[in-house]
Chains A and B, each alone.
Chain A
Amino acid sequence: MRSKLRGALDAVGVLCFASVFVAINIQVFMRYIANRPVSWSEEFPTLAFSVAALWAASFSLTVKDHIYFDLVYEAVPQTVRRLMTLVAGIVVAGVTFWALPAIVDFALYMKVLSTPILRVRLDFVFAFFAIFIGALGVRALWDIGRAIWWKPEA
């Protein structure tokens, strides 16, 4: 069940990402081969990629996919690692959940603006940043749980 959900979440991001690739190539094709430049493809790729990247950062990226500095973590015993995970979880969860209401407010406020060509309301786009910050907080809570019921990563 969990892997199916994960696969579905991944697929949404991949679809969005693939649409960026297709849109940029359509742009080149329409300009040079069809000789009929289109304007939507100037705007769509940055919108779709921002959504895809935030979506994947929220739901697809594992710790191992990130770039991190683990010289200290690898050099200390399990008990210290547990403490490090706990402290990191508390700080990240604390800050992100503190910041989240203001970020949601800002995203909602952006409903007054829309993109110039496709007229996509910006609150829709900014909402993905709020989702990302929320996902960071939830993952940090998970880390706190992992530190309490200590289960080292495989």
Chain B
Amino acid sequence: MSKQLIVLIVAFVALGLVRVPIGISMLVAGLLYLIVKGADVGLAAEQVMNAMLQSDVLLAIPMFILCAQLISVGSIGTRLMELAQALVGRIPGGLGHVNILVNVVFASMSGSAVADAAGPGAVLVRMMRKAGYTGGYAGALTAAAATLAPIIPPSIPFILYAVIANVSVGALFAAGIVPGILIATLLMLSVAWQATHRNFPRGEGVTLAALPGVLLRALPPLGLPVLVLGGIRIGAFTPTEGAAVAALYALVLVTTIYRDVKVPDLYESFRTSLVQSASVMTIIMGAFLVNYAVAAEQLPNMVAAWFLSMNLTAAGFLGGVMVLFLILGCFIDTTVMLLVLVPVLLPTARMLGIDLVHFGLVVTVNMMIGMLTPPYGVLHFVMSAVTGIPVSEIIREVWFFCGVLLFALALLMFIPEITLWLPKYLGLMK
């Protein structure tokens, strides 16, 4: 390992530890790498700007963020919650099921677990606490259900993975649907099991006469995922166009059909979306620079040679990566893992014949578990911040759901067809 690569790694870790934002830590470490190497530091501008200007797919991220923002400001959330309550509210642990179902629907419109936990998640926790659930359980379940957001398309991690692994966004989106439904089903089964053992209350349903009204009220937002995914599937839109059309659909819904959003709210939605996008882009810019350095130092090839020298099978490699990511996911931000660690591992995965769509899916599910596992499970902090429930109470209840998600991960890892069946069936991959 060269002197400049050691400087890069040490600077990145040290700056991160003294609370320099992760994206800026990577940028500064990358600049320091070029300085120590004696290379032209102007290369940093070239690497970052060319990557930004040439990647049309990255534009889907701000558009999906905008779409999620617009959905969260109006009454769309309330309408979807009413529908979920009408469908599954009456069964034992009803509100737990409502929580998961609402997260499934929101996941099909937004691609960020944090956005879903902070938006509809906060309202769901309030409803559950009012019905008699403990704050810790409500927070833990909501955090677990929010992990569906990046698995059920659209998904920001899938877009990032598509950029670094050079695979089809459409195939990745399709690959997320069945695993997303599988995880939601496992979570609902676990809620049902807990409901009988812990005597959770039944929720309120709606009368049969009121059902058509509730359905009608929630129908327009449900058209959004159909439009976007259908459009991408038939090749009408690129993912970026699909994302922008989704945001437009949400804008029309909240301004002209439901009319529950004012101009200042709209401005704030655009502003918040820009700030969130810029925050993600800072990490992406840092990652472009770090990845340039890592590639220049031939690190991915060295890692691949090391793995191959150990005579690992594909399953052994995948298992090792999963364990590594589960451990690192407790401490490191998922975007960093995706943008910095995954490119280092991709050549090995390719050489071992692992399907890169399958690899992307299991890595994303794994990272979502990382967002849920203590001590650095971002979702606990988000839930605690928006609901006031102490993190310790959420952590006490979250282990059970971590177990459920780990079981799902094992199924997805060992049975690739769960993931690959749909994109193959739709002709999005061979």
Contact of B278 among A46, A56, A85 (CB under 8 A): A56
Q: Does A52 contact B (CB under 8 A)?
A: yes
Most chain A CB inside 10 Å of its own CB: which residue of B32, B53, B54: B53
B90 CB to nearest A CB, Å? 40
CB–CB A69/B376 < 8 A? yes
Chain A residue at smallest Cβ distance from B66: A21
Q: CB-CB < 8 A to B237: which residues of A?
A: 28
- CB proximity of B322 to chain A, nearest CB, Å: 22
Contact mask B330-363 → A, CB, 8 Å, 1/0?
0111010000000000000000000000000000
| Cβ of A153 to closest chain B Cβ, rounded Å | 10
Q: Which of B195-203, B213-221, B266-274, B400-408 contacts A (4 or more CB under 8 A)?
A: B266-274
Number of interface residues of B (CB under 8 A): 62
Expressed in whole angstroms, the Cα–Cα distance for A123 and B16 within the complex equals: 32
List of B residues within 8 angstroms of A136 by Cβ: 24, 27-28
Q: By the criterion CB–CB under 8 Å, are A130 and B241 in contact?
A: no
The tally of residues in A whose CB lies under 8 Å from a CB in B reads 56
Q: Report chain B residues within 8 Å CB of A107.
A: 45
Q: B236 near A: Cβ within 8 Å? A: yes
- Name the residue on B nearest A50 (C-beta): B52
- Give the interface SS of chain A, mostly helix, strand, loop or mixed: helix
Which one of B24, B248, B278 has the greatest number of beta carbons of chain A within 10 Å? B278
Whether A72 and B21, one on each chain, are in contact in the complex, defined by CB atoms closer than 8 angstroms, is no
Find out whether the CB atom of A66 lies under 8 angstroms from the CB atom of B21: yes
Known: A68-B19, A73-B19, A98-B35. A60 touches B45 (CB 8 A): no
Closest A-chain residue to B247, C-beta based? A21
> CB-CB < 8 A to A133: which residues of B?
27
Which residues of A, 10-64, contact B by the 8 Å Cβ criterion?
A: 10, 13-14, 17-18, 20-21, 24-25, 27-28, 32, 45-47, 49-50, 52-54, 56-57, 60-61, 63
**Given A69-B376, A106-B42: A32 in contact with B19 (beta carbons within 8 A):** no
Asked if A57 meets B244 with Cβ closer than 8 Å, knowing A46-B56, A49-B62, A129-B49, the reply is no
CB contacts (< 8 Å) of B66 on chain A: these are: 21
| Chain A residue contacts of B275, Cβ below 8 A | 56, 60-61, 65
Proximity bits, A90-130, B CB within 8 Å = 1, else 0 = 01100110110011011101000000000000000110011
The answer on a CB contact under 8 Å between A102 and B241 is no
Interface residues of A (CB under 8 A from B): 10, 13-14, 17-18, 20-21, 24-25, 27-28, 32, 45-47, 49-50, 52-54, 56-57, 60-61, 63, 65-73, 84-85, 87-88, 91-92, 95-96, 98-99, 102-103, 105-107, 109, 125-126, 129-130, 133, 136
